[in-house]
Amino acid sequence: MADRIRAHDWSSTPLGPIESWPQSLKTATGLVVASPVPIVMLWGSQGVMIYNDAYSIFAGGRHPQLLGCNVLEGWPEVADFNANVMKVGLAGGTLAYKDQELTLHRHGRPEQVWMNLDYWPVPGEDGAPAGVIATVVETTERVAAERRQAATNERLEIALSAGRGVGTWDWDVATDRVVADARFAEIYGV
């Protein structure tokens, strides 16, 4: 991404030519690019996006068009969410979301995703917040697996409670320990 950022026509963005960027923006960009974690920086009141290789993978089909784009225009389906991020971050606040559910259009169609998101302000030359940095870690696969497991457990519990059988139990031969469910304990008084 470093080469792509250097080659980008920044003069067509509110940031202006890269040569005229303040040192704080250049330094923050270097930190973003060096990170192995998906990071996007939203610079200025318009939230001009600068991101790293890991974020480009997360962005899917929207990369490389997102580079240098206003975050509200780049991700219109979550514009209200990102407007709040910009408001809080540029006021000096931080935000953290665990397994935040959003619907994104990364590959030309709506896609339900879950993410861990952390946002914090980036100081400009005067020390006041000039941008917002976001770490974006997708948790969709884990959340989906947990939901599938919960649904499976619920179906199993329904099936077990519907029967008048002996309940269920598990005998660990190595420790000679038996673990049983409530139905088994009720029937056998254990």
Residue 163, pLDDT score = 60
Segment 90-108 shows an average pLDDT of 97
The whole-number pLDDT of residue 54 equals: 98
All domains of the chain in start order, with CATH: 2-138 (3.30.450.20), 152-188 (no CATH)
Share the mean pLDDT of the chain: 93
Question: What is the predicted pLDDT for the residue at 179?
Answer: 86
pLDDT in tens, 130-189: 999 999 999 999 999 999 999 988 887 777 676 666 677 788 888 989 888 787 788 877
Helix (H) or strand (E) holding 146: helix 140-162
Sign, CA torsion 106/119/122/14: positive
**Core vs surface per residue 89-100: b (16+ CB within 10 A) or e:** bbeeeeeeeeeb
